[in-house]
Amino acid sequence: MTLGGENSMENKVVSIGERRVGSGEPCFIIGEAGVNHNGSLELARKLIDAAVDAGCDAVKFQTFQAEKVCSPIAVKASYQQQTTGAEESQLDMVRKLELPFAAFRELHQHCIDRGILFLSTPFDDESADFLAELSMPAFKIPSGEITNVFFLEHIARKGRPLIVSTGMATLEEVAFAVETIRATGNRQMVLLQCVSNYPADPHSMNLRAMHTLEKEFGVTAGLSDHSVGTEIAFAAVALGACVIEKHFTLNKDLPGPDHRASLEPHELAHLVKGIRNIEAALGDGIKRPVAEELNTADVARRSLVAARFVPAGAVLTLDMLDVLRPGTGLAPAMRSQLLGRHAQRDIDAGTLLSLDMLV
């Protein structure tokens, strides 16, 4: 296992559908519907509509067969126990959240009809094969599968871009996953910094780890954000995140494991708008005034003016000059060029000075 050994060989920009994702491109925003449909196809359709209305680039679900994900003895995560109770097993909970393949065919078509990219995270080989048949443009690898080498190989061999979450992983584990994927010949990869807590505390987010992932593996990086609110995602974009994935729901009060840590539709729209505003605000780095502020310079800057009445023929001395607004006259830096000159005419106090007044 090596770290960062092939950075220069990687193409940091990947194509997902018709979207280019990487440095210099608009942030790719994934509305993570996940299992917030609660097993309802109708609710899932409404989640797609909400993602479209918010302006997301893609909406993502989770495709799985419960018995191929959880054993009967698997317990719920602590946050799942808090949101759905501790009585049932993880398997029983996941069964309630499963949608059949036929439902995903309908959701895929609904995404096409609404003009948004359909994505779904597979959790088993059969689900991955099904999603590949739908011509899904990229695969998302969840944090929990980053050490599942056989699953990584199976999906990577499909030759489509992979978006890999790295929650719970050490740098060495990420390196192993990256090497496993690259060994199949698939070099189209995005790595997402992620903290697998729901919700994740801001102090744990470690957004600068995105830069570490980029440097070590020569890939595009982003954030799978499980924190509350939108400010962490905004900070990630300002730091250069090329992908933002964020859970959303129609209502945080709905039953289910992930609703409380999700954005509601108006918050999702705020997220997208904020990201686009941040991208616009970052600019190109060239320091120059914008056209809209040039008029302000006339008002806010200062010019050389007569500090008192100056009679014709008088020699200008320092006490005769002041620097006041507006900025439409001679610049203050020209003061030394005026000292010692003679007034060609009477100059009233407060008059903006000009060279034709002097000789």
Residue-wise pLDDT for 55-112, tens only, equals: 999 999 999 998 888 888 777 677 677 666 667 777 877 788 899 999 999 999 999 9
Long-range residue pairs from 43-48, CB within 8 A, at least 24 positions apart, any chain: 43/250, 44/99, 44/103, 44/107, 45/106, 45/107, 45/110, 46/250, 47/248, 47/249, 47/250, 48/107, 48/110, 48/111, 48/114, 48/116
Residue 142: what pLDDT? 98
- CA dist., res. 185 & res. 173, Å (int): 19
- Quick check: 289 pLDDT over 50? yes
Residue-wise pLDDT for 15-64, tens only, equals: 999 999 999 999 999 999 999 999 999 999 999 999 999 999 999 999 99
Mean pLDDT over 243-261 rounds to 94
- Quick check: 8 pLDDT over 70? no
- Which structural domains are found in the chain, ordered by start? 14-282 (3.20.20.70), 292-357 (3.90.1210.10)
pTM of the model: 0.89
Tell which residue, 150, 145, 157, 220, has the closest CA to residue 186.
Answer: 157
- CA dist., res. 94 & res. 256, Å (int): 10
Residues 6+ apart with CB under 8 A from 39: 96, 97, 98, 99
Residue 296 neighbours by CB distance under 10 Å:
11
Residue 125: what pLDDT? 98
